[in-house]
Amino acid sequence: MTTPVHEPAEGTTGTHQGRRALVAGSVGNFIEWYEFGVYGYFATIIAANFFTPDGGGDAEALVKTYASFALAFFFRPVGAVFFGRFGDRIGRRPTLILVVLLMTAATTLIGLLPTYATVGAAAPWLLTLLRAVQGLSAGGEFGGAVSIMTEFAPPGRRGLYGAWQSFTVALGLLAGAGIAALLATALSEDALHDWGWRLPFLLTLPLGLAALWLRLKLEETPSYRRTTRPRSPAAEDGPGTVPVADAPAREVAKAIALGAGRLMGWSAAGYTFLVVMPSYLQSTLNATFQQALVATVVANVGFAASILPAGALSDRIGRRAVMVAGSVLVALLAFPLLGLLQDPGASTAAKGAAVFAAGAVVGLMAGPGPAMLAEMFPTGVRYTGLGLAYALSNAVFSGCAGLIITEVIERTGDVDIPAYYVAVTCAVSTLALATLRGDDHRRALRD
């Protein structure tokens, strides 16, 4: 016996609550990725302000900056477990309120930190501490945001609703890049390095207060409310999913590992093309700061343009078909796209088309990804399970992207390292995505 297709209980709270859930979930996610984008876009400036000890070079400082970037990602799995258990036990709403408070406070404080020139070696440690707090709160954000979006989704629209999580990733990265580009244009280089870089971090405070207000107005999801009442015995589930009854730890762990494998291509390609690119273009291809930011904005526009259509398409033809297409295209196009960027004879229009296409193919994975994860776990472990799968994938394949690419290029001189990194991870991810069941998008979420 299988779970009924489009069970009426799912999404019965109406479109008003569904839209409110989208906004409340999206705004916190927007803030998270806005900040992570800003940190990546200002990596070279942060390196000069916080990670340049006496005698240290620019490359050394940039590697240390990305090490701090990676450290925050490795705190994400801890946050996913800690806040995930709260979200599965006491509710999605109170947990998401706490998460956005922590993220807002940590990000605002980064904008107020003294630099290495002011307090010496304490500066990088203080920055790293706040990055760890951000990592913890970010680890709790994804699971809760995707849970409320998909649990409030009307029947047949779970892929589209879940895609809003990825769409706000694109919006956050675009906002960060836009603010960075605006400041780079409006301020002198000295002003930008001295105090201008702080402004994007301080802007998080009003954004966080708006997110808090929206989440205070949010109701608990129907799926979570149903789990507080007696439930019928578990239905039979397919491969790669956790049984409803009891959700044994071994099965949960298996699903988390499989989910992380399905996401690794998205994680690696997303951060390589959308966040690490500015520093790569500057340090390896000698682009200016403004040129690198423009290229990144174009890539993120391509990313944003494909996410919602990909999520909606996955509601019609399935998550597997759309996500496998995305991972295969990234693996095949990685070297040609990077080669075009490296070609000094290529036109600006051709390079713009290349970075737009790079972002768009990543969006094919990012659109259906949240709903795919939500469908792998029952309500009692959904917040924890999907959050941890996502956090582990991001910790290893996103958080380390800048560190790995920068360090390996520095050691080998091979400017094709980003293409190798993206192609290999997407090839492995394709194998994991092939295990998806073709009709998961038609089944109700498991209670």
Res 65: pLDDT: 66
**Angle at which helices 15-41 and 43-50 cross, to 10°:** 50
Q: What is the DSSP string of 35-50?
A: HHHHHHHTHHHHHHHH
CATH number of the domain encompassing residue 32: 1.20.1250.20
CA-angle at 264, arms to 258 and 265, nearest 5°? 130
The amino acid at residue 215 is: R
pLDDT tier at 68 (50, 70, 90 boundaries)?
A: low
Residue 10 lies in a domain: no
Q: Which domain holds residue 307?
A: 15-222+248-442
In a domain, 42, yes or no: yes
DSSP state of 441: G
Q: Structure pTM? A: 0.81
For residue 5, what are the β-bridge partners? 443
Which of 163-177, 344-358, 363-377 shows the highest mean pLDDT? 363-377
pLDDT at 52: 67
Give a three-class secondary structure readout of 2-25: CCCECCCCCCCCCHHHHHHHHHHH
- pLDDT bucket at 245, cuts 50 / 70 / 90: very low
Tokens of 181: 């580009």
Buried residues in 115-125 as b, exposed as e (16+ CB within 10 A): bbeeeeeebbe
Q: Which of 272-281, 293-302, 369-378 has the lowest mean pLDDT?
A: 272-281
In a domain, 233, yes or no: no
Is residue 447 in a domain?
Answer: no
Closest CA to 43 of 65, 16, 60: 65
Q: 242 lies in a domain?
A: no
| Residue 310 resides in a domain | yes
Give the residues across from 33 on adjacent strands: none
* Distance of alpha carbon 316 from alpha carbon 234, whole angstroms: 26
Place of tokens 């790995």: 404
Q: What percent of the chain has pLDDT over 90?
A: 38
CA distance 300 to 34: 12
Q: Burial, 233: exposed, middle or buried (Cβ in 10 Å; 0-12, 13-18, 19+)?
A: exposed
In the prediction, which pLDDT does 178 show? 83
Alpha helices in 90-203 (DSSP H): 92-110, 116-119, 122-151, 158-186, 189-191, 198-202
| Mean pLDDT within 310-331 | 95
Q: Are 134 and 35 in contact (CB under 8 A)?
A: yes
Residues in the chain: 447
Long-range contacts of the stretch 9-17 (C-beta < 8 A, 24+): 9/222, 9/226, 9/444, 10/151, 10/153, 10/154, 10/155, 10/222, 10/223, 10/444, 10/445, 11/152, 11/153, 11/154, 11/155, 11/157, 11/222, 12/222, 13/152, 13/219, 13/222, 15/154, 17/152, 17/219
pLDDT at 12 (0 to 100)? 45
Which residues face 443 on adjacent strands? 5
The residue written with tokens 């990733």 in the block is: 169
Flag the least confident range among 15-29, 74-88, 227-241: 227-241
Among 117-131, 321-335, 359-373, which is the least confidently predicted range?
A: 117-131
**Taking residues 402-428, what's their average pLDDT?**
87
Asked if the structure places residue 236 within a domain, the reply is no
Residue 121 pLDDT more than 70? yes
Segment 77-81 shows an average pLDDT of: 93
Q: Is residue 239 part of a domain?
A: no
pLDDT at 441: 84
Q: How far apart are CA 248 and CA 254, in angstroms?
A: 10
* Secondary-structure breakdown of the chain: helix, strand, coil percentages, each rounded to the nearest 5: 75, 0, 25
Total domain count, the chain:
1
Lowest mean pLDDT of 124-128, 309-313, 365-369, 381-385, name the range.
124-128
The mean per-residue pLDDT over the stretch 310-325 comes to 96
Question: Taking the CA of residue 175 as centre, how many other CA atoms within 13 Å lie in the half-sphere pointing to its CB?
Answer: 21
Q: How far apart are CA 137 and CA 103, in angstroms?
A: 6
Q: Which of 44-48, 188-192, 275-279, 401-405 has the lowest mean pLDDT?
A: 275-279
Place of tokens 């990088």: 124
Rounded mean pLDDT, 216-224 = 86
